[in-house]
Chain A
Amino acid sequence: MRLSNGETLSQALYGDTDPAGASGYGDHPPRMGFFTDTSVCIGCKACEVACKEWNHVPEDGLLFTGMSYDNTQGLGADTWRHVAFIEQSKPLAGQIAGVQHDSDQLRWLMSSDVCKHCTHAACLDVCPTGSLFRTEFGTVVVQEDICNGCGYCIPACPYGVIDQREGDGRAWKCTMCYDRLQIGQEPACAKTCPTDSIQFGPLDELRDRAQVRLQQLHDAGVVDARLYGEDPHDGVGGDGAFFLLLDEPEVYGLPPDPVVTTRDLPDMWKHAAAAAATLALAAAASFIGGRR
């Protein structure tokens, strides 16, 4: 089956597509995104702070977690960039850690997580008010003057990004600094990242650059390096914010094989229709055998 814009249903719901175009923008700028290369992250958290300052995101908890240097814990309504820290007794290529435990191997993975701005964004799909929308840059943004806090987007996100703000009731998440994009600036986190771990630009360019970087790392013996979210044929149609990781995604708290829930929605409606029909049949059957 084909939709009015020529796409097949599956393309529309979870395949490789131009999200801005599919959302009805005619002439639109190239799709913009993030490539977060965690192999050069130094864990400084400038991204967390810059994001909060630019977007007036409230402080969300003074808690010493003991999770290495991560006291932020995870993305949420009040954390739109989250730096993860993972200490592992494993080597990073030929790096010499110098420690003298039973194992002499040590490495410290650091990674700045962010909303993925999925090509097929479940949060956007399930939003009943139309508050969540696709911008001309292909990003996903919440219109805070419309959101009524129904909370549906929250469990829909396969990455666990968006959340409800306490005391406020609405859903909040990274906007990829939509206001800055509109005047030709890069998002606050990308601007502030001192080592260019957070790279911002047209998504195609970033994807090309990432492949080169991956090869570079593999050639240098960093066998664990892998890209995450860069593939337009994955379960969400590829992420607008994708990563280079140095271990499996779940090590960083990321789902290994995320799928946009909407992929299964047509099938769900079919089953719901069948269930409704079954109910009707049961109702009819209940009345067989006489009037009273």
Chain B
Amino acid sequence: MSGGDVTRDGLRGVRPDRDAMTGNLDGERRKPGRRRRGRAEQQMVPDAEFTSYYGRPVIKAPVWEAPDIPGYIFLGGLAGASSMLAAGADLSGRGELAKVCKVASLGAISLSALALVHDLGKPSRFLNMLRTLKVTSPMSVGSWLLAAYGPATGVAALSSVTGFLPPLGAAATAGAAALGGPVAAYTGVLLADTAVPAWHGGYREMPFVFTGSGAAAAGGLALGLADHGIPMRQLGPARAFGVLGAALELVASEAMEKRLGLVAEPYQKGNKGAYYVKAGKALTALGAVGAVASMRAAPLTRAAGAVLFLGSLATKWGIFHAGFASADDPKYTVVPQRDRIERGEQARATAD
């Protein structure tokens, strides 16, 4: 029944249209109450009751493309780790190793910068990256890091190759080595600081995966030039660095996937990223073993180095594509969030 009256003095009981009720038929009310869903606590099994909007993604996958961005991440890790290797090589009198590593880091970081600019929607505005420094933006932090690190590698490499200004070169080498760690690690934050489930969920381990992977790549690059630019006898640290990096990467990956639960799935199956990830792990492990086993043989060393290098490359491609897959399938966003709510652990900001 309408509650509005049209009296001689005008209208009474007028309500705005946004107060409209539907289905409120007299005598057909339902009692208000929330529906509860009981569920077992199984984190690995996908929720059979999970709903989505016509199977569409909830978040948006990045618009970044391969080879630009996975290449950028790979090259950044390679460069940063190489700078460290270079500094140690300098200090321990391994001249060829040092030179190669310095040139490699310059080459890698230059290529990575080009890749980054190439991937921009408006490349002509790349300098806008330096309008401001925002610590909430890993990309901003990274841009400034690169702005400092890049020239440092440049000076270090040039000095090494030309022999000019050795003290400046030494300072630059030290600087590059100091920044090398952050350069290799921050890309983990870059990926993790998004809503992409497979990336964000792995934010604790991702920097370790990337630094380890960077070391494997740097070591692998050096090993790959055994007796073809770097004498075998200088390669000990490269071997060690490569193996340590590989171990770090593999351990961190395992830890990450274990923690991710359901969201580890894109790293394991169902999309091409999983394929690359598995290839990366296999190659990295193989390369590490090879690096140890090939201590006397140059050809084997070179092979091991190449395998380590490729393993690191594959890992970046894998993580990149697996992330996209985790963004595209709504279940990886919805299920963990719905689970959180069911457990009473939804995100709350408390005053502290």
Contacts and interface: CB of A to CB of B under 8 A. Distances in A.
Contacts of B138: 126, 265, 268
Contacts, number: 358
Given A127-B137, A149-B122, A287 B24 contact: no
A251 B204 CA distance: 31
B53 A84 contact: yes
A125 B80 CA distance: 26
Contacts of B54: 65, 67, 253
B269 interface: no
A130 B131 contact: yes
Name, among A147, A277, A282, the residue most crowded by chain B CB atoms within 10 Å (CB to CB).
A282
Contacts of B351: 8, 11, 15
Contacts of B196: 155
A258 interface: yes
Place the interface of chain A in its size category.
35 or more
B211 A235 contact: no
A261 B16 CA distance: 39
Contact of B208 (A258, A265, A275): A275
Given A169-B122, A282-B215, A234 B347 contact: yes
A207 to B, nearest CB: 15
Contact of A86 (B33, B53, B177, B234): B53
A233 B349 contact: yes
Contacts of B346: 234-235, 256-257
A208 interface: no
Interface stretch (B1-9, B58-66, B257-265): B58-66
Contact of B56 (A73, A213, A221, A285): A73
B35 A223 contact: yes
B43 interface: no
A11 B177 CA distance: 36
A160 B52 CA distance: 14
Contact of A257 (B60, B238, B347): B347
- Greatest chain A CB density within 10 A among B61, B119, B122, B214 is at B122
Contact of B215 (A37, A84, A279, A290): A279
Interface in A89-106: 91-96
A143 to B, nearest CB: 10
Nearest to B28: A94
B53 to A, nearest CB: 3
A268 B334 contact: no
Contact of A262 (B59, B123, B136, B204): B136
Given A256-B337, A268-B203, A292 B349 contact: no
A32 interface: no
A279 B349 CA distance: 34
Interface residues of B, number: 113
Contacts of B29: 93-94, 220-221
Interface string B300-335: 000000000000000000000000000100100110
A56 interface: no
Contacts of A262: 136, 193
B247 to A, nearest CB: 9
Interface stretch (B88-96, B102-110, B152-160, B277-285): B88-96
B42 interface: no
A274 B132 CA distance: 26
Given A155-B194, A250-B50, A163 B63 contact: yes
B84 A280 contact: yes
Contact of B207 (A157, A159, A275): A275
B237 A272 contact: no
Contacts of A271: 188-189, 203-208
A254 B57 CA distance: 9
B335 to A, nearest CB: 9
Nearest to A284: B88
Nearest to A75: B60
A129 B131 contact: yes
B85 interface: yes
Contact of A39 (B22, B119, B124, B210): B22
Contacts of B192: 261, 264, 268
B60 A163 contact: yes
Contacts of A250: 50-53, 58, 330, 334, 338
Contacts of B268: none
B61 A150 contact: no
Given A126-B139, A213-B19, A276-B185, A150 B121 contact: yes
A284 B61 CA distance: 38
Interface of B: 16-25, 28-35, 50-54, 56-64, 80-81, 84-85, 87-88, 91-94, 119-126, 128-129, 131-132, 134-140, 143, 177, 180-182, 184-186, 188-189, 192-196, 200, 203-208, 210-212, 214-215, 233-234, 236-238, 240-241, 244-245, 248, 327, 330, 333-334, 337-338, 340-341, 346-352
Given A151-B62, A154-B60, A250-B58, 7 more contacts: A149-B125, A150-B129, A170-B122, A223-B30, A223-B32, A269-B135, A286-B85
18 contacts: A10-B352, A15-B351, A16-B349, A95-B23, A147-B122, A151-B63, A157-B59, A164-B121, A168-B121, A218-B32, A222-B22, A223-B30, A234-B346, A250-B338, A254-B58, A258-B195, A278-B211, A280-B84
3 A-B pairs with least C-beta separation: A149-B121, A169-B121, A276-B181
